[in-house]
Structure 1
Amino acid sequence: MMLDRRHLLLTGAAAGLVAGSPSFAKGHKAAHHLAKAAAPATPDSRLADHMTGLSETLLSRWPETATNLGLDTGARAGLKSALSDASPSAHASDVSFSADALRQLTAIPDAGLSPRSKLDKATVAYALQLGVEAAPFDFGNNTLASAMSEAAGPHVVDQQSGAYSSLPEFLDSQHKVDTAADADAYLSRLHEMARTIAHENERIVSDAGKGVIPPDFILANAIGQQQDLLAIPAEKSRLAQSLARRAAAKKLGGDYGARAARLVESEVYPALGRQLETLKSLQPKAGHDAGVWRLADGEAYYSWLLKVGTSTSLTAEQIHQMGLEQNRAIEDRMDGLLRKQGLTQGSVGERMAALGKDPKYLFPDTDAGRAQLIAYLNGVIASVRPKLAKAFDLKLKAPIQVKRVPVEIQDGAGQGYMNTGSLDGSRPSIYYINLKTTSNWPKFSLPTLTFHEGIPGHAWQGAYLTETGKMPLIRVLISGFNAYVEGYALYAEQLGDEIGMYDDDWAGRLGYLQAQKFRAVRLVVDTGLHAKRWSREQAVQWAMDNTGRTRDAMTSEIDRYCGTPGQACGYKIGHTEINRMREKAKAALGARYDLRKFDDLIVETGAVPITVLGDVVDSWIASGGTMKL
C-alpha cells in the first residue's frame, strides 16, 4: 500500500498505539495463543484467530503500513526493506486476494458472535467487497489498498500520487533509522523505489493504450513537479539528505549519505527521468475533459468510487441534489446572520470574501502574527474543554500541541491536519496549521477548524483509540472509511455550535457555516465534474461563486477531485448520515435519548462504513440506548 499524506494521518493514531505500547504486540500474540489453547473455541475466538491471520497477510502485502505502525521488527523485520507491489499484475493479485479473503470471512457464521465481533466482521467484509468490485477497473489505482488509503483514482501518477510524490515523505517521516540495519533497509527501499517507478511507467503506457490518459492540466502539473525534483542534485535530495542526517545523528558510520546519493543518482533519477519522458509523450494525446465520464465504463467506475468515498449506495444524482439543497439551506442561514449585522450588499460568497479581508479579523502576516494566531488556537482548545461534558460521557485527556506546518513543505501541504498522539503519553496529538500566509485564516474561520482537527474532532477520535487500546489490529489496518472519519469531524464542528461555543461570537458562527457550506459545494462540483460533464473551469467558477474563496485555492481543490474522484464527497455525506441517525435515535427513544451516550457510541464504534454505523445505531436503539460494544 503506497502511503499518501492522507493515509499517514489516518493511521497516525494507530502508529501511536502500536509503537507507543510494547504490550500491544505481546498482548495480541498472547491473546492469540490463549484463544488457540482454549477448548472448545468460541465463535469470537475463531473469528479473532482468522482476523489475526488476515492481519499478518495484509502486513506482508502492505510493508509501508507495517513501517507506519512500527510493526516492521522481529519476525517482520524483512518488511522494512520492501515496498508494495506496483507491477502491472498487482491489480489482478489484489482482486484475487480480496475475493479469497472475503469467501473465508463470510464462511464464519454470525451466530454466537458478540456485538463487537459482528462489527469487526462486517467492517472487514465491506472493505474486501470493495476490493472485489474493483475488478473491472484495471487502470490507475483501483484496489483494496487504494480504497483503504483514500487514494483510489484513474491515474497511476499525477500531481498528488506516484512514488515520486509519496516515497520521499514516507522514507523521511516514517522509516526509522536507529541502527545500521535500519539504514541498510532504507538503502534497499531506495533500490526498490527505482523498481516501483519503472513498474508505474509500464502501467502508464498500458493505461494509455486503454485510453486512460490524465487531462492536460494534470499532466502539466505532474511534469512540473518531476522536473523540479530532478533539478535537485542527488546528494542534496531529500532521499539522500534524510538518511545522511539521521545516520550521522546515531553515529552509524558506513557513509550512508553518500551511498544513498549514489543510488538516487544511478537508479532513482534515471527511472524518474524515463517516467518524465513518458508523461511528456502523452501530452499531445491528452484532452482537457476533467471527469472520469470520458473513460470506458466511466459511469460504473464513478459509482464504485462514490461507494469507496462515501460507503453508501447513493447515486451521483442524489449526491449532486443533496449538495445543491444543503448549499442553499446553509446559504440562507448565513444570509440571515449577515443581515443581522447590517451586511446586505452582494451575494453571500461576496460578503464572506469581504469579511475575510477585514483587518480586524486578520492576524499580522509576520512571525509575531503567526505566534498570535497559534496562541489564539490554544485559547480555543482551552475554552472548549470544560464544555465537552455536554456532548460526551467519555473521559479522555486528548492532549494537543499546536504547531505550524514546516516551512519547507507548506507549499504542498494541507491547510490543517492532525497527527494523533502516542498511547504512552510521550507525544501529544499535534494539530498542524499551514501559516504560509495568515491572510488565509481570518479569526472567525479558526474555531471550527480547531473543533474539526482537535477536540471534539480528530484528536478526540484518536484519543479514544490511543487511550483505551480497544481496537484489534485488523481494525487498524482496515480503517480508511473516509465518510466516517471526516463525517464525524464535521459533526464535531456542529457540536461546537451546539454546546455554545458561538453564543457570543456571530462571526465565528459564520465561519462554521462557511466551512459546512464548502463541504456541500464539494458534493456539487465532484459530481458535476464526473457525472454531469462539467469542465474544469465551470467547476472552479461554481466553487468560487459559492464559497467566496480564491481562484487559486479552488483550482487546487478541483484538480484534487480529478485525481481522487468521490473522495471529497465523503465529508458531507458522512456528516449528513450521522445527523440522520441521531434524529432517528431521538425519535425512537424519546425521553430515554441521551446525546452524550449517542456521541460516545459514534466514537467507540471506530472507523467503519457508514452503512455499518447505521446498523450499530439501529442495534443501540433496539436496546433502548443501553447497548455496549
Structure 2
Amino acid sequence: MNTTRRAVLGAGAAGVALLSTGCAQPAGDQGAQLTTILDRVSTQILQESPERCTALGVTEEQAGGRFIDKLSDDSKEGARRYRGILETALRDLNALDRARLAPQDAVTLDVVKTSFENSVATSTYEIGSGAGAPYVVTQLTGAYTSVPDFMDNQHPLTTRDETEAYIARLGEYVRQLDQDTAIIAADATTGVIPPDFAIDKAITQLNQFARAAPAQTVLVQSLVRRLPEVSEIPEADRAGYLTRAETAVRDQILPAYQRQIDALRAIRARAPHDAGVWRLNQGAEMYAVSLRQRTTTSMTPDEIHDVGVDLVAQYTSEMEAILQRQNMTQGTVAQRIQALSRRPEQLYPNNDTGRTQLLADLNVQIQAVTALMPNAFTTLAQAPLEIRRVPVTTEAGAPGGYYERASLDGSRPGAYYINLRDTREWPKFSLPTLSYHEGVPGHHWQISIQQESGSIPFIRSALLGFSAFSEGWGLYAEQLADELGVYADNPLGRLGYLQSMTFRASRLVVDTGMHAKRWTREQAIQSMMQATGDLETSVATEIERYSVWPGQACSYMVGRQAINRMRETAQNTLGARFDLKGFHDTMLGNGAVPLSVLDAIMNEWAASRLRA
C-alpha cells in the first residue's frame, strides 16, 4: 500500500522497464498522438513522485531528471499541480478519435481515461488526499507512516552518490512532515478533523519514533546496517555519514515530528467519534466518488451493503458445516471460531521465536502453492518473493498484511508484509489464505506477470492501479488456491479460508454501514466480530482503517464477484472449450484494468475461442 499523497492514481503494479507506452502500431496518426500524450504524461507523473521512481527502479532519463535525492511535494499546491497534469492529459485524450485506434490502443485509451477521470473526481475534494483519503495524517496516512520504511527498504545504498542522496532525502522528509502538519491545521478550519481514535493512534505512532534516541531510529540504523556494503566509501568515512544522519534526525526530523504531534493535539478536543465521512461537508458525494474509483462500478452503497449481507450468510453456512464435522457444535459460528483461535496448538508464542517460526511457516506455504501454479497458468511469474514483518514503528495502526511490488530493474524482490504486533491475532488455521492473497497466486503473482509481460504500456503497468482488479484478483486467488486442493487434508485451513471470505464480505457491510448508514465505530466492530469470530483488537484495527479510507475495503469482494461472473459467462459460452489456463493468462496478461474494460476483454477472449 502506498499512503503518500501521490497515490491518487491507485497502487498500480510494476511494469516494463521501457518508458515507451508500448502502444500498438498506430491507425493513421491517432495511435501516434496517443503515444505522444502517454509518454508526456508518464514523465510528468514520474517527475511529481520521486519515491515512485525509486520504487520502480527507472533511470533518470525515464524519469525526466534526477530524483534519487528528492521526495514528492505533499502540499495542497502540489496536489493541484498533479491534478492539472491529469486534466490536461484528459483533454488531449478526449480529442482523439477512438474509432481510428488499433484495438490494443483503444483498450489503453479506455483504461487511462477511466483512471484519470476517477482520480480527478476524487482529488477535486481538496482535503487530505481527496475523497478516498480525506484526512492527511491518521494511523494509516501521512508521510510519517511510509517514508522511514521507504528509506530503509527502497532507497538504494550501493554508491557514494546514493549515500549522499540518502542524507539529502532526510532533509526532504522534514519538508514533507511540515507540509502534512500545515494541512492538518488548514483542513481543521473547514471542519475536516479525523475521528478521535485515528488521531490517538497517529499520536501514539509518532511518539514511538519521536521518543527514540536519534541513533536508534530506523533512519540511522539503516545506514549502520547498509554502509559496510558501499565499497566506494572507505570505513574511515562511514562515521561521518552516520553523524550527519544522526544530526539530521536530532535537529530537524524529531522537531518536525513534535510539530506534527502538537498539531494533532491542538485539534484533538474537537475530534468527533463518528467514524463515517457522512459527517463531512458533501460527505455522501465524496463517498459515492470514492466507491466509483475503488470499485470501477456504479454500484450504490445500498447495493454493495446487500451483497455483503447475503455473502456473510452463505459463508457462515459453509463454516457451520465444517465445524459440525469437527464436532464443534456449541455456540454461534463466531463463538466457535473464537474458541478455536484460542487453542494452544493454534497459537505461536508471542515473542521473537514465535514470530520467526511463523514467517518460516509462511515461506513453506508459498513454496508449496507455487508448485501448483502450472495447473492453472501457462504463463508463470518469475520474480522472487520475500515475507517480512510490518515495521514495529507503524504496526499499531497498520493492517494485517499488504504487498510491496518488486523494482523494475530486478534489484529488489516483491515482498508481502504481515503485522506481527500480536501473534495471537494469527491462529495457524487463518494464515495460509493470507499467503495466497498477498503472495501466490495473489498480488505477487499478478503483479509479477504484469511486470514481466513486456507488452503492456508503461503507464498502465507501472503508474496506474485499479483496486477492484488487483484486490479482486487477490481474493479470487484465495478461492483458486482452494480449488487447486491446498486444503484437501486441512479442513481447519479451509475454515480459515471461509473465514477470510466472510471477513471480506463483512467489509461490504461495515464500510457502507459507517459511511452511508451512519453506523458508529462500535456498531461496525460488533458486526464484523459476529460475522468472523476475529479478535476485537484485530477487528478494531480494520474498522479504523475503513474509517479513514472510505470505499477501499469494498473493492475486494466487488472485484472478486465480477471475476467469478466473467468466468461463469465464459464457461457458459464455451462449454467444453473453456480453458482455465487461457482464462487466467488472458486476464493477467492484459494487466490491471477497470472492471468494465476487463469484462470486454474476457468476452472477446471467449468469442475468439469460439471462432477458433
Q: TM-score, normalised by structure 2?
A: 0.89
Q: 442, 462, 466: which is aligned to 1:481?
A: 466
Contact 2:205 2:394 in 1 (8 A): no
Q: Structure 1's 436 and 216: CA in aligned 2 closer, same or farther, altered over 3 A?
A: closer
Corresponding residue number in structure 2 for 1:162: 142
Q: Structure 1's 596 and 410: CA in aligned 2 closer, same or farther, altered over 3 A?
A: same
Does residue 97 (structure 1) correspond to residue 77 (structure 2)? The answer is no
Does residue 577 (structure 1) correspond to residue 562 (structure 2)? The answer is yes
Q: Structure 1's 30 and 346: CA in aligned 2 closer, same or farther, altered over 3 A?
A: closer
Q: Structure 1's 345 and 7: CA in aligned 2 closer, same or farther, altered over 3 A?
A: farther
The letter of the residue matching 1:52 is D
For residue 495 of structure 1, report the CA deviation from its aligned partner.
1.2
- Give the SS at the match of 1:78: coil
The letter of the residue matching 1:48 is T
For residue 375 of structure 1, report the CA deviation from its aligned partner.
5.2
The letter of the residue matching 1:92 is R
- Give the SS at the match of 1:81: coil
Contact 2:294 2:551 in 1 (8 A): yes
- Give the SS at the match of 2:92: helix
- Give the SS at the match of 2:273: coil
For residue 224 of structure 1, report the CA deviation from its aligned partner.
2.2
Q: Structure 1's 240 and 47: CA in aligned 2 closer, same or farther, altered over 3 A?
A: same
| More RCO (CA 8 Å, sep 6+) | 2
- Within a 5 Å distance, the mapping from 1:412-431 to structure 2 comes to 414-420=399-405, 429-431=414-416
- Within a 5 Å distance, the mapping from 1:607-622 to structure 2 comes to 607-622=592-607
The letter of the residue matching 2:40 is G
Corresponding residue number in structure 2 for 1:191: 171
Residues 265-320 of structure 1, C-alpha deviations (whole Å, 9 max, x = no match): 33333333222222111122112111100001110001111112212111111111
- Within a 5 Å distance, the mapping from 1:42-441 to structure 2 comes to 43-71=30-58, 73=60, 76-134=64-122, 136-142=124-130, 152-243=132-223, 245-247=225-227, 249-250=229-230, 251=233, 253=237, 255-363=240-348, 373-374=358-359, 376-397=361-382, 399-402=384-387, 414-420=399-405, 429-441=414-426
Residues 203-256 of structure 1, C-alpha deviations (whole Å, 9 max, x = no match): 222211111111112112212222232222334333334345544542263722
The letter of the residue matching 1:546 is A
- Mean CA deviation greater in 82-91 or 54-63: 82-91
Corresponding residue number in structure 2 for 1:149: none
The letter of the residue matching 1:97 is I
For residue 5 of structure 1, report the CA deviation from its aligned partner.
12
Q: Structure 1's 600 and 172: CA in aligned 2 closer, same or farther, altered over 3 A?
A: same
Residues 476-509 of structure 1, C-alpha deviations (whole Å, 9 max, x = no match): 3333211111110111111122222223332222
Task: Give, in whole Å, the separation in 2 of the partners of 1:441 and 1:5.
Answer: 31
Corresponding residue number in structure 2 for 1:471: 456
Task: Give, in whole Å, the separation in 1 of the partners of 2:58 and 2:343.
Answer: 50
- Give the SS at the match of 2:98: coil
For residue 368 of structure 1, report the CA deviation from its aligned partner.
6.1
- Mean CA deviation greater in 304-313 or 266-275: 266-275
For residue 548 of structure 1, report the CA deviation from its aligned partner.
0.6
Task: Give, in whole Å, the separation in 2 of the partners of 1:394 and 1:335.
Answer: 37
Q: CA RMSD in A?
A: 3.2
- Give the SS at the match of 1:286: coil
- Mean CA deviation greater in 379-388 or 528-537: 379-388
Q: Structure 1's 259 and 306: CA in aligned 2 closer, same or farther, altered over 3 A?
A: same
Does residue 600 (structure 1) correspond to residue 585 (structure 2)? The answer is yes
Q: 495, 510, 515: which is aligned to 1:510?
A: 495
Q: Structure 1's 368 and 78: CA in aligned 2 closer, same or farther, altered over 3 A?
A: closer
Q: Structure 1's 401 and 199: CA in aligned 2 closer, same or farther, altered over 3 A?
A: closer
Residues 85-105 of structure 1, C-alpha deviations (whole Å, 9 max, x = no match): 222323332332221111112
Q: Structure 1's 195 and 40: CA in aligned 2 closer, same or farther, altered over 3 A?
A: same
Does residue 544 (structure 1) correspond to residue 529 (structure 2)? The answer is yes
- Mean CA deviation greater in 368-377 or 287-296: 368-377
Corresponding residue number in structure 2 for 1:445: 430
Q: 486, 490, 493: which is aligned to 2:475?
A: 490
- Give the SS at the match of 1:623: helix
Q: Structure 1's 430 and 99: CA in aligned 2 closer, same or farther, altered over 3 A?
A: closer
- Mean CA deviation greater in 375-384 or 212-221: 375-384
The letter of the residue matching 2:480 is L
Contact 1:88 1:202 in 2 (8 A): no
Q: Which blocks of at least 5 consecutive residues in structure 2 are unaligned?
A: none
Contact 1:11 1:69 in 2 (8 A): no
Task: Give, in whole Å, the separation in 2 of the partners of 1:587 and 1:31.
Answer: 34
Contact 2:399 2:541 in 1 (8 A): no
Contact 1:620 1:626 in 2 (8 A): no
Q: TM-score, normalised by structure 1?
A: 0.87
The letter of the residue matching 2:505 is A
The letter of the residue matching 1:513 is L
- Give the SS at the match of 1:214: coil
The letter of the residue matching 1:533 is R
- Mean CA deviation greater in 602-611 or 393-402: 393-402
For residue 66 of structure 1, report the CA deviation from its aligned partner.
0.9
For residue 363 of structure 1, report the CA deviation from its aligned partner.
4.7
- Give the SS at the match of 2:99: coil
For residue 121 of structure 1, report the CA deviation from its aligned partner.
1.7
Task: Give, in whole Å, the separation in 2 of the partners of 1:6 and 1:53.
Answer: 17
Task: Give, in whole Å, the separation in 2 of the partners of 1:333 and 1:626.
Answer: 39
For residue 162 of structure 1, report the CA deviation from its aligned partner.
1.2
Q: Structure 1's 93 and 260: CA in aligned 2 closer, same or farther, altered over 3 A?
A: same
Q: Structure 1's 454 and 174: CA in aligned 2 closer, same or farther, altered over 3 A?
A: closer
Task: Give, in whole Å, the separation in 2 of the partners of 1:381 and 1:455.
Answer: 6
Contact 2:123 2:129 in 1 (8 A): no
Contact 2:12 2:462 in 1 (8 A): no
Task: Give, in whole Å, the separation in 2 of the partners of 1:309 and 1:619.
Answer: 25
- Give the SS at the match of 2:531: helix
- Give the SS at the match of 1:261: helix
Task: Give, in whole Å, the separation in 2 of the partners of 1:122 and 1:491.
Answer: 24
The letter of the residue matching 2:182 is E
Task: Give, in whole Å, the separation in 2 of the partners of 1:11 and 1:441.
Answer: 26
For residue 379 of structure 1, report the CA deviation from its aligned partner.
4.4
Q: Structure 1's 589 and 6: CA in aligned 2 closer, same or farther, altered over 3 A?
A: farther
Q: 444, 449, 452: which is aligned to 1:459?
A: 444
Q: Structure 1's 95 and 351: CA in aligned 2 closer, same or farther, altered over 3 A?
A: same
Corresponding residue number in structure 2 for 1:558: 543
- Give the SS at the match of 1:509: helix
Q: Structure 1's 599 and 4: CA in aligned 2 closer, same or farther, altered over 3 A?
A: same
For residue 412 of structure 1, report the CA deviation from its aligned partner.
5.6
- Give the SS at the match of 2:245: helix
Contact 2:86 2:120 in 1 (8 A): yes
